[in-house]
Amino acid sequence: MKELTVQIRRFDPDKDNEPYFQTFTVNVNDGARVLHVLHAIHDTIDPTLSYRYSCASGQCGSCAVRVNGEPVLACMEEAKDKSTIEPLNLPVKKDLVSDLLPKLEQIASFLPKKEIVPPKRAEIEEIKPLRDCIECLCCLSVCPAVDVTKFLGPTAMRQEMRLALDPRDSGDRISDAVRDGLFTCTSCQACWKVCPKEIEIPGKAIEKLRARANKRGFTLPRHLEVAALIKETGRSVPRTTESFLEQVSGVLEPYGPVKATVGFFVGCMYNLRQQQSALDAMEVLKRNGIRVIIPKEQVCCGSPLIRTGQLDYVDYLKQRNIDTFRSRGIDTVLTMCAGCGSTLKNDYPEKPFRVIDINELLTQLGIEPPAKLNIKATYHDPCHLLRG
């Protein structure tokens, strides 16, 4: 047995003006889950505590709550001392019980065709990962777009793609998805991170829906402009000043002994918008013994096209970048842009090099600390670096 103290967010709309936190201390078995803690509180301290559960084995999704801010299944999450337990980021009925019904009712239903055509084996295999959803709505709880737009959320898009793949369904799933906010998803991948079934909604549902929407002429005008610019210039943003690639030589030698040699993939933003940041980063690399090869023929990684469903030019971009770095004998490609890094890692399946972020490389090699600065700095952990 062990003693745990937790804080629980309480709220009873019949008597409370606003939510408040209450602290409980209970004894539970070693290895206890959050659900066991809730049971102990309910059974021995406060029988008015409201929470939802059913199977207690990670299959029904009903016990989803937030623990220290992260959506989890209470029956699967190990209980830890000094944890904070809250309801999902949804309307609350009482205490830890979220009002799921309005959101669940927005998830599309199967509309059978008059003449049923059985799905082929390949279609079944593509549908399978999207069927694993247990409708816990953890994904909805973390989606940044849901709070500020009319986006129905990740699992609604997952269901639209599942039905779009099913030849037995008669609904116009692409039009429905566009209407319900398909293009408002930020591709932050937070939904994938918290999904207890690890459903890759951004890649397996939203991007595929956008690709189908593109073929139907639903792509947003601004997205079309970006695609046209990439095809014309090889970059996703227009040139306004001298680019990074124009300001550096093809090889940057370190000031001291060579600890490592990398190829640098600059990306569109650092090449044409944040040149000074990239130049400063090269100085850091040189001071830390890193030899940097910078191929001038590199182009956009293709991420803006992949994320918006415009795939017709992506293979060309991939092959050009792969050939460019392969021709220099580069086996490690360094990135600064998290979006580029994630794309090179995950969307370039057959690449002859590994991809590493500049922060990862410097951490691995051991950075030479600069002189102490009397400033307070905030580090932003990019979505595609944290989860990509």
**Mean pLDDT, residues 104-114:** 95
Compute the distance between CA of residue 347 and CA of residue 301 in angstroms, rounded to an integer: 9
Contact at 8 Å (CB) between 74 and 33?
Answer: yes
What is the pLDDT of the chain when averaged over all its residues?
97
pLDDT at 380: 86
pLDDT of residue 93: 97
Hey, how many other C-beta atoms are within 10 angstroms of the C-beta on 69?
Answer: 9
Is the pLDDT at 379 greater than 90? The verdict is no
Q: At 239, which amino acid appears?
A: R
Element (H, E) at 208: helix 207-215
Phi then psi for 369, rounded to 5 degrees?
-65, 140
What whole-number distance in Å separates Cα of residue 23 and Cα of residue 137? 26
Other CB atoms within a 10 A radius of the CB of residue 169 amount to 18
Q: According to the model, what pLDDT value does residue 373 have? A: 85
**Residue 371's pLDDT band (boundaries 50, 70, 90)?**
confident
Residue 361: which of 291, 298, 280 has the closest Cα?
Answer: 291
User: Would you state the pLDDT for residue 381?
Assistant: 87
Q: Which residues contact 6 (CB under 8 A, 6 or more apart)?
A: 23, 24, 26, 37, 79, 81, 82, 83, 84, 85
> For the residues 111-139, what does the mean pLDDT come to?
94
Contact 4, 79 (CB under 8 A): yes
Instruction: Give the amino acid at 243.
Output: S
End-to-end CA distance of the chain: 39
d(CA 50, CA 10): 9
Integer angstrom CA distances of residue 365 from 258, 259, 288, 311: 11, 8, 8, 37
Q: State the DSSP code for 136.
A: -
How many other CB atoms sit within 10 Å of the CB of residue 200? 17
Q: At which residue do the structure tokens 């890094």 appear?
A: 341
Structure-token match 């029956």, residue found: 75
Mean pLDDT of 38-63: 98
- Position 116 scores a pLDDT of 87
pLDDT at 369 over 90: no
Q: CB-side exposure of 279: number of CA atoms within 13 Å?
A: 13
Domains of the chain are 2-98 (3.10.20.30), 104-216 (1.10.1060.10), 244-387 (3.40.50.1860)
pLDDT of residue 372: 84
* Angle ∠(39,199,343) on CA atoms, nearest 5: 135
The pLDDT, as a whole number, for residue 343 is 98
pLDDT, tens only, 156-167:
999 999 999 999
DSSP-assigned letters across all residues of 220-234 = -HHHHHHHHHHHHHS
**In this predicted structure, what is the pLDDT of residue 158?**
98
| Mean pLDDT to the nearest integer, 315-323 | 98
DSSP β-ladder status, 251-252 and 290-293 = antiparallel
Q: pLDDT of 133-187, one tens digit each?
A: 999 999 999 999 998 999 999 999 999 999 999 999 999 999 999 999 999 999 9
Q: How far apart are CA 192 and CA 188, in angstroms?
A: 9
Tens digits of residue pLDDT in 263-281: 999 999 999 999 999 999 9
Provide the 3-class DSSP secondary structure of residue 292. Answer: strand
Q: At 277, list the tokens.
A: 């940041």
Q: In 3D, which of 11, 36, 37 has the Cα closest to residue 24? A: 37
Q: What is the DSSP letter of 300?
A: -
Show the beta-strand stretches assigned E in the chain. 2-10, 20-28, 64-67, 70-73, 83-86, 92-94, 97-98, 251-252, 260-265, 290-293, 332-335, 354-357
Report the C-alpha dihedral over residues 265, 335, 154, 84, rounded to 10 degrees: -170
Please state, as a whole number, how many other Cβ atoms lie within 10 Å of the Cβ of residue 126.
Answer: 17
Region for 27 from its dihedrals, namely left if φ exceeds 0, alpha if ψ lies in -120 to 50, beta otherwise: beta
Whether 21 has a pLDDT exceeding 80, the answer reads: yes
Split at pLDDT 50, 70, 90, the class of 302 is very high
Residue 370 pLDDT greater than 80, yes or no: no
Whole-number pLDDT of residue 298: 99
Long-range contacts of 233-238 (CB under 8 A, 24+ apart): 234/299, 234/300, 234/317, 235/268, 235/271, 235/272, 235/299, 235/300, 236/268, 236/300, 236/304, 237/268, 237/269, 237/272, 237/273, 238/272
pLDDT band for position 368 (50/70/90)? confident
